[in-house]
């Protein structure tokens, strides 16, 4: 700001205007690049023990977290119903496993459409009703999937399902984290993200319970999936809008004219470079999760001849590892920093890839636990990392759309792995009906594929910004002040993000700045 003192960003200090926000300094792009490693250094911020942090949440904040967690868990459950029934669906529709994986790919491709539609709606009209509509669509489309009789019907319903699924992630993140106490954000972020692993675990267990060996045995799993969203709708209707959203609405109402469109223009003008970065980062993260998970049950059964029970046990243990890893690394990101935590756990994940894909007996359970602890450990940082990077007026839209556009880029993960894997055939096996079943070397393909993905995520995370502990208070959101005509602005026409900003802004001028950790 014009009346702020700009100093060396490597020197720890606070601005005179906002005691919670450090001052910033403009720097050249070359200087920014040179600081990527110095700012990656762990901060070792003092953080209370996890129990003390969770006790900071009041009753309403816990309810916001729980409704977001259960909905995100069931979103994952619904997605993995297809992954866990690929063989049954292929038999039902007379298609190959690769053909069925297009049902997964379509969902991932179209989720970005839902993220845009429901994200804008949630930022403009509130979190509650878009959430309710999302879950109504889940009910209809899960029931519809269970009644599909042709491959074309299956693809059509799953495509629509992708749109519905796309709208939930940003809404869940905003609902759970907007009102969360600042010190507890890391651990709550990790817990929220593990709704994904918890949903996968539930899908694995219920698939074992509901899916019969016959071609029609998959349908009850989808019909069952349509039930719980009814409860989620009732739960959400009992809760108000988040405090952060209500405050933003009051500011909009106090403005001379409607500001929502202006807020979008300000956000796009000032933060376009960060938005592009978020999409690229999410592409890597989604390749990481889908590349390590979607085809894994097929690898266990097809390449290593695991029984259904052995697959179930392995998947359950893997998802227990995922939930543990996500919560722990989310908590650690509040101590060591978001970027450092992601890079560290991705290095460990890359080191475990060989046993994760090449151990051919039940001992694979151990590397499955630790590999998914690493993958979902990195993911545990993502909800709060994206929230802190996002413009305040468009958190739901930006978080959801960045995540789902990343899904779009990575949508062919399982199809790519399956297609390449089929180029490396193994000796066929004979099933219980005496039929010959083709086998493929999926493990080698997954290992190489995931090694490349881990490297990409590490490089991009090191290269990117971090706005750890950024405040979500609308009164310190200078994008909103500029759009609404309130408050002071910088000499450049904007302001630095409030909070503990470690990296860059002023993107529209091609400049880069760093703010001290």
**Can you give the pLDDT at residue 191?**
94
Nearest Cα to 82, choosing from 24, 20, 146? 146
For residues 180-197, give the mean pLDDT. 91
**Can you give the pLDDT at residue 324?**
94
**Can you give the pLDDT at residue 27?**
63
Q: pLDDT, tens digit, for every residue of 416-429?
A: 888 888 888 888 88
Nearest Cα to 356, choosing from 395, 414, 304, 427? 304
For tokens 């319903």, name the residue: 157
Confidence class for position 83, pLDDT limits 50, 70, 90: confident
Residue 472 has pLDDT above 90, yes or no: no
CA distances from 447 to 191, 277, 315, 358, 467 (A): 27, 26, 18, 8, 33
Q: Where in the chain is the domain with CATH 1.20.1250.20?
A: 55-246, 262-471
Residue 477 has pLDDT above 80, yes or no: no
**Can you give the pLDDT at residue 12?**
31
Q: How does 221-253 read in b/e, with b if 16+ C-beta sit within 10 Å?
A: bbebbbebbeebbebbeebebbebbebbeebbe
Higher-confidence position of 147 and 216: 147
CATH 1.20.1250.20 fits 262-471, yes or no: yes
Q: pLDDT, tens digit, for every residue of 60-70?
A: 999 999 999 99
**Can you give the pLDDT at residue 22?**
36
**Can you give the pLDDT at residue 508?**
31
Share of the chain above pLDDT 70, in %: 84
Nearest Cα to 299, choosing from 92, 449, 195? 449
CA distance 296 to 411: 16
Confidence class for position 513, pLDDT limits 50, 70, 90: very low
CA distances from 337 to 39, 52, 172, 403 (A): 9, 20, 23, 21
Beta-carbon contacts of 249 under 8 Å, excluding residues fewer than 6 positions away, are: 126, 241
Higher-confidence position of 353 and 422: 353
Residue 261 has pLDDT above 60, yes or no: yes
pTM more than 0.75: yes
Task: Give the chain's mean pLDDT.
Answer: 82
Phi, psi of 72 (to 5 degrees): -65, -35
Fold of 55-246: Growth Hormone; Chain: A; (1.20.1250)
Confidence class for position 95, pLDDT limits 50, 70, 90: confident
Q: pLDDT, tens digit, for every residue of 365-390?
A: 999 999 999 999 999 999 999 999 98
Residue 326 has pLDDT above 90, yes or no: yes
For residues 475-482, give the mean pLDDT. 69
Q: pLDDT, tens digit, for every residue of 125-172?
A: 899 999 999 999 999 999 999 999 999 999 999 999 999 988 999 999
């Amino acid at each position: 700001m014009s009346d702020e003192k700009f100093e060396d960003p490597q020197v720890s200090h606070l601005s005179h205007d906002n005691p919670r926000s450090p001052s910033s300094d403009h720097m050249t792009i070359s200087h920014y690049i040179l600081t990527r490693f110095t700012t990656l250094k762990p901060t070792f911020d003092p953080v209370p023990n996890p129990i003390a942090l969770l006790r900071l949440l009041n009753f309403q904040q816990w309810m916001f977290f729980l409704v977001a967690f259960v909905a995100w868990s069931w979103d994952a459950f619904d997605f993995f119903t297809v992954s866990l029934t690929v063989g049954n669906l292929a038999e039902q529709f007379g298609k190959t496993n690769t053909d069925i994986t297009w049902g997964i790919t379509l969902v991932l491709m179209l989720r970005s459409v839902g993220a845009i539609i429901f994200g804008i709606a949630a930022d403009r009209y509130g979190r509650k009703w878009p959430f309710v509509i999302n879950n109504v669509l889940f009910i209809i489309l899960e029931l519809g999937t269970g009644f599909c009789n042709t491959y074309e019907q299956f693809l059509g319903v799953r495509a629509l399902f992708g749109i519905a699924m796309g709208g939930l992630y940003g809404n869940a993140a905003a609902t759970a984290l907007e009102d969360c106490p600042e010190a507890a954000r890391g651990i709550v972020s990790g817990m929220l993200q593990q709704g994904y692993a918890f949903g996968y675990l539930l899908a694995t267990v219920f698939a074992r319970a509901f899916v019969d060996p016959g071609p029609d045995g998959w349908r009850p799993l989808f019909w069952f999936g349509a039930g719980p969203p009814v409860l989620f709708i009732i739960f959400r209707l009992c809760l108000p809008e988040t405090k952060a959203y209500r405050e933003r609405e009051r500011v909009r109402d106090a403005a001379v004219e409607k500001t929502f469109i202006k807020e979008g223009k300000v956000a796009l003008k000032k933060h376009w470079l960060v938005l592009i970065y978020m999409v690229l980062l999410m592409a890597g993260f989604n390749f990481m999760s889908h590349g390590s998970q979607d085809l894994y049950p097929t690898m266990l059964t097809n390449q290593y001849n695991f029984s259904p029970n052995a697959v179930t046990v392995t998947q359950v243990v893997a998802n227990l590892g995922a939930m543990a890893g996500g919560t722990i690394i989310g908590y650690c990101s509040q101590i060591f920093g978001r970027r450092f935590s992601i890079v560290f756990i991705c290095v460990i994940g890359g080191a475990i890839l060989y046993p994760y894909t090449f151990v051919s007996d039940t001992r694979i359970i151990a590397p499955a636990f630790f590999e998914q602890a690493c993958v979902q450990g990195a993911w545990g940082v993502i909800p709060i990392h994206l929230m802190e990077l996002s413009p305040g007026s468009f958190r739901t839209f930006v978080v959801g759309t960045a995540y789902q556009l990343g899904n779009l880029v990575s949508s062919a993960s399982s199809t790519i792995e399956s297609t390449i894997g089929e180029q490396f055939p193994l000796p066929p096996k004979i099933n219980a009906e005496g039929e010959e079943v083709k086998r493929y070397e999926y493990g080698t393909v997954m290992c190489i594929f995931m090694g490349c993905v881990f490297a990409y995520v590490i490089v991009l995370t090191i290269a990117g910004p971090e706005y750890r502990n950024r405040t979500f208070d609308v009164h310190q959101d200078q994008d909103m002040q500029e759009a609404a005509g309130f408050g002071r602005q910088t000499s450049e026409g904007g302001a630095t993000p409030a909070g503990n900003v470690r990296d860059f802004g002023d993107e529209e001028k091609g400049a880069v700045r760093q703010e001290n950790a």
